Amino acid sequence: MKENIEILISSNKLQKRIKEIANEIKNDYQDEEVVFVSVLKGAIFFTVDLMKNYLGDAIIDVVRVSSYNGENSTGNIELKIPLKKENIEGKNIVIVEDIIDTGRTFNYLVDYIGKMNPKSIKSCVMLDKPSRRVEKFECDYVGFKIEDLFVIGYGLDYDEKYRNLPYIGYIKK
Ligand code: IMP
Ligand code: MG
């Protein structure tokens, strides 16, 4: 890695906040089972850590959508790996994402999953960039609100690179 990477949120801070979110979710669902739908690829890291800290009944499922080329959103959401209706119907769904930016991905997913008749749908993100919203969307569980910065690490990529950084950072120009 040649670029100069600045740390925005350390690994310790991320892990501490994830434990808090896991407890918040458990409080809301108590003894009911939750299906964590991880939005590939970016949310893999967050989903794994969230589930390891979740002290209740939980199932994992995955969906893959993409809308990004490099730093610029195309605005079009493409469904690359779909969900199966039988895994969603009648269940409590928590959509787990790495970051919410324009809000397009979440609106698309809530609409898509909603058509599969879940018992409930909630949304959970590690990072929220509220200043970038194009479509209105409020997440139920938010790790950190951040300013308008293109961030990398902990699942987030820049042209598929840097996902494996254990912290959230940005490339210093
Ligand atoms: P939205 O549909 O615009 O809300 O964007 C959600 C998706 O855009 C995320 O799942 C990320 O893949 C990508 N994204 C948005 N902001 C960033 C960023 O700062 N770094 C890396 N990916 C980002
Ligand atoms: Mg993504």
Whether 172 maps to a domain, the answer reads: no
Query: From the CA of 101, how far away is ligand 1's center (Å)?
Result: 5
For Cα atoms 139, 63, 109, give the angle at the middle one, nearest 5 degrees: 40
Would you state the pLDDT for residue 22?
Answer: 98
Would you state the pLDDT for residue 173?
Answer: 80
pTM, full prediction: 0.95
- State pLDDT tens for residues 61-101: 999 998 755 555 567 899 999 999 999 999 999 999 999 99
Question: Catalytic residue numbers?
Answer: 101
Whether 96 maps to a domain, the answer reads: yes
Whether 108 maps to a domain, the answer reads: yes
Which residues lie below 8 Å from residue 60, measured CB to CB, with a gap of 6+?
35, 36, 38, 47, 51
> How many separate domains does the chain show?
1
Whether 168 maps to a domain, the answer reads: no
158: which 2 tokens? 């820049």
- For range 101-106, the mean pLDDT: 96
Whether 126 maps to a domain, the answer reads: yes
Q: What CATH number has the domain bearing residue 109?
A: 3.40.50.2020
Ligand 1 atom nearest to CA at 103: 4
Which residue range forms the structural domain that includes residue 79? 10-151
